[in-house]
Structure 1
Amino acid sequence: MSAARIHASAVVEDGARIGDGVAIGPFCHVGPEAVLAEGCELVSHVVVAGRTTIGPRTRIFPFASIGHQPQDLKFKGEPSTLSIGADCQIREGVTMNPGTAGGGMETVVGDRCAFLANSHVGHDCRVGNGVVFSNNVMLAGHCSVGDYAILGGGAAVIQFARVGAHAFVGGLSGLENDCIPYGMVVGNRAYLSGLNIIGLQRRGFAREDIHALRRAYRALFAPEGTLLERVEDVAVEFEAHPAVREILDFVREGGKRSICTPRGTPPAGPA
């Protein structure tokens, strides 16, 4: 590997750990506890602060603020962390905050994610692999986002909400409840509008798997009985289908928010 390339106008404080092949462009600032793995690039005017670790080959664009203290008035300077995975793209003006004592002390972002301009990852969030945040997405503190989820431009997710794997949150949506894996939510306040069929097709899901998910979705959100009763019925019928089980496990696990349901159906309370 080649040595790091650091522009003369950049400030890299003593103690920062800089991997092979890292490129740090003009007017960047890297704090003393930051770790930049091999092949990272800070294009220009990037700030990496706090106890932040950035994985290999991640590229960060101008005016991103990564690792400054969380936007939580209860934060008292505790030694919390921010960890960002490999091969991510973090575009202009993105902000990401470390964790807090009230949320597990860490914010974690997976591999191969794309965060488009001016999007935000709040404190104590967990973001999976292959996730896409379009421009101006706002993820409040303590949220989780599953693998390959996509959040459309201007979407806002309330604190403690969960977005399941392969889900799609429509642009300008205000999500105040949990979105099931493979689900699609739209609107303000957001409601469940169906399954993310286009996303499933693009990810290479087989036709029979998509049909099974559709049948399970119709049964799960049928008008008869309670959601938890329908969960058990669907579990019996689709016992051998892993994607359906993923949805059922998500509902059973529950959280601090209700489950987002189709329009005209009251949100189902936490399990």
Structure 2
Amino acid sequence: MSKIHPTAIVETGAELADDVEIGPYSIVGAHVVIGAGTVVGSHSVIEGHTTLGAANRIGHYASIGGRPQDMKYQGEPTRLVVGDRNTIREFTTIHTGTTQDGGVTTVGDDNWIMAYVHIAHDCRVGSHVILSNNAQMAGHVTVGDWAIVGAMSGVHQFVKIGDHAMLGGASAVVQDVPPFVMAAGNKAEPHGINVEGLRRRGFSADSISALRTAYRLLYKNGLSLEDAKAQLAELASAGGDGDEHVRKLIAFIETSQRGIIR
């Protein structure tokens, strides 16, 4: 049976799994679905057409599923979908999508989202992501799996942060950050491959070596972007463990809409 504090408000129509916990003075809206084992702290608001998966932990004073901060939004029933086992700490805000995009904001599984983080409308946050305190995602931002965004960083709308990328604290990101790359600064600039993170996740020495070579081609050898891509394509066919990761890097560059940080 759900454990709902007497001071909490759960509107008619909300769907809560049997063991969900709702803390004091929290509000759950009529179109909300909350999965098994999820715990919502005190004074939080879960609203809109929002689905939370299983075993999530929502801190105090969080605002989940609010209306997009987009002046074009006219009250359409857009959505927020959050996966499983996420930690979402105090005062975090996550908004639903808009019809100008796919109409849905998504957050994957096993993410660590610290206090005061903002995830705007139509963002796509992957899995195993760390968003440090006061990291701010504008609308339509994509954050890849295993990425880390440092505290007090701001990410411009439509920017993509690749898988396993790492962004230093207080950075301003206005262009895409390729996968595996560390970046920092205002405006954010590249600072090498996220070697320690890749080691912790079991990347082989050969894979890391290939990505280091790819980084030098992209950023250190004075090549134009087109020449660097040609040499990256050769590197990706070397027949080593790192081929698939270099191909992922190439695919990211080729599909970038805002251009990558340089």
> Would you say same fold, with TM above 0.5?
yes
Decide whether the 8 Å contact of 2:140 with 2:159 is kept in 1.
yes
Q: TM-score, normalised by structure 2?
A: 0.96
Identify the residue that residue 160 of structure 1 maps to in structure 2.
158
Listed one character per residue, the Cα deviations across residues 71-113 of structure 1 (whole Å, up to 9, x for unaligned) are 1111111110000110000000000001001121000000000
Identify the residue that residue 211 of structure 2 maps to in structure 1.
213
Could you tell me how far apart the structure 2 residues matched to 1:232 and 1:254 are? Answer: 16
Pairing 1:217-228 to 2, within 5 Å after superposition? 217-228=215-226
Listed one character per residue, the Cα deviations across residues 165-200 of structure 1 (whole Å, up to 9, x for unaligned) are 000010000001100000011000111111111211
SS in 2 for 1:201: helix
Identify the residue that residue 97 of structure 1 maps to in structure 2.
95
Match of 1:204 among 202, 205, 210: 202
Q: CA deviation at 1:211?
A: 0.8
Identify the residue that residue 260 of structure 1 maps to in structure 2.
261
Amino acid at match of 1:25: G
Amino acid at match of 1:102: Q
Identify the residue that residue 119 of structure 2 maps to in structure 1.
121
Could you tell me how far apart the structure 1 residues matched to 2:164 and 2:205 are? Answer: 16
Could you tell me how far apart the structure 2 residues matched to 1:56 and 1:42 are? Answer: 12
Could you tell me how far apart the structure 2 residues matched to 1:227 and 1:213 are? Answer: 16
Pairing 1:225-264 to 2, within 5 Å after superposition? 225-239=223-237, 240=239, 241-255=243-257, 257-261=258-262
Q: CA deviation at 1:224?
A: 4.5
Structure 1 runs not aligned, ≥5 long: 262-271
Pairing 1:15-164 to 2, within 5 Å after superposition? 15-164=13-162
Could you tell me how far apart the structure 2 residues matched to 1:223 and 1:147 are? Answer: 28
Q: TM-score, normalised by structure 1?
A: 0.93
Could you tell me how far apart the structure 2 residues matched to 1:64 and 1:224 are? Answer: 46
Identify the residue that residue 265 of structure 1 maps to in structure 2.
none
Amino acid at match of 2:139: G
Decide whether the 8 Å contact of 1:216 with 1:238 is kept in 2.
no
Identify the residue that residue 195 of structure 1 maps to in structure 2.
193
Q: CA deviation at 1:225?
A: 4.1
* Residues matched between the structures, number: 258
Q: RMSD over aligned Cα, in angstroms?
A: 1.0
Q: CA deviation at 1:120?
A: 0.6
Could you tell me how far apart the structure 2 residues matched to 1:73 and 1:201 are? Answer: 44
Amino acid at match of 1:53: T
SS in 2 for 1:52: strand
Structure 2 runs not aligned, ≥5 long: none
